[in-house]
Amino acid sequence: AITSVSDIANLLGVPAGQLLYILYRKKDNYRTFEIEKKNGKKRVINAPCGGLSILQTRLKPVLEYFYRPKKSAHGFIKGKSIITNAGMHIKKNFVVNIDLENYFESISFARVYGIFKSKPFNFAHPAATVLAQLCTHNGKLPQGACTSPILANIASASLDKQLTQFAGRKKISYSRYADDITFSFNQRNIDIIKKNDDGSYSLSETIDNIISKNGFKINYDKFRVQTRNTRQSVTGLVVNDKVNITRRYRRITRSMIHRWTDDK
């Protein structure tokens, strides 16, 4: 069993003293920069440097060995992609998109510690503490660390389980690609969305409650209900009849290819 700091050091192939130095003494473990999102807002990336980056890279296959993905999860999983995610929602009357706000940042040190303490890891307190320190920055999962996506998927496992069970009872398709949740169905379903007097839709309290009880928040700016007579897209792919790329994406790609061949 993995119980102590030296067990973790052995696992990562580094002397215990060096592991502790990198975690608790070294100052510049992360490089912080911003990238612009589609909506013009900035996304903060914290990328690990030097020794910490090496340790996280060594830890990643260990996490992958223990992790058993849920069927509904499609992000950062071998053999799955935005295509398998979108493929769950073809030819449906309603496609509902929900975005989780600050997905990585909402997963705290305490949650990561809890992951290592419980199944399938079952690591003892000292080992779980060191690993949680190794994988978090300023008390949360950093965007930019190679260990963050898989830990986020593990942290979302109970959310996936509850939403899958809910959807299964109602003949609804459910999938999640990182922070991007999609439901689709054919019948008018009052349990997921409700129609407002002005013709718009809002999300049912049931779904809101399941998401918030699992420690996540919905970004209501990105909540969308797409009906059959409009273009329905899931993780950027059109799903009305079959999985297809959007016209805009096709246009951009075509112009990039033209530019590239013209430059040759």
Q: How far is CA 151 from the centre of its chain?
A: 9
For the chain, list the strands marked E by DSSP: 30-36, 42-48, 94-99, 173-177, 180-185, 193-195, 201-203, 224-227, 233-234, 237-238, 244-245
Domain extent for 45: 1-66+106-140
From 24-28, 142-146, 218-222, the region with the lowest mean pLDDT: 24-28
Among 222, 94, 223, CA closest to 170:
94
Question: Count of domains in the chain?
Answer: 2
Written as six digits, the tokens of 93 are: 């009357």
pLDDT tens digits along 156-195: 999 999 999 999 999 899 999 999 999 999 987 678 998 8
Q: Are residues 173 and 83 part of one domain?
A: yes
Q: What's the mean pLDDT when you consider all of the chain?
A: 93
Structure confidence at residue 172 (pLDDT): 95
Report DSSP letters for 220-241, one per residue.
Answer: GGG-EEEETTS--EETTEE-SS
Q: Are residues 90 and 58 part of one domain?
A: no
Q: Are residues 120 and 87 part of one domain?
A: no
Q: Are residues 250 and 122 part of one domain?
A: no
Q: Are residues 209 and 94 part of one domain?
A: yes
Q: Are residues 262 and 249 part of one domain?
A: yes
Phi, psi of 175 (to 5 degrees): -150, 160
pLDDT tens digits along 243-263: 987 766 667 667 767 676 666
Residue 185 in contact with residue 172, Cβ under 8 Å? yes
C-alpha–C-alpha distance, residues 121 and 253, integer Å: 43
Which 3 state secondary structure label does DSSP give 131? helix
Among 241, 2, 250, CA closest to 117:
2
Q: Are residues 179 and 132 part of one domain?
A: no
Residue 146 in domain: no
pLDDT tens digits along 40-49: 889 899 999 9
Q: Which residues contact 144 (CB under 8 A, 6 or more apart)?
A: 30, 45, 46, 47, 48
pLDDT tens digits along 11-27: 999 999 999 999 998 88
Residue 240 in domain: yes
Q: Are residues 263 and 241 part of one domain?
A: yes
Residue 72 in contact with residue 225, Cβ under 8 Å? no
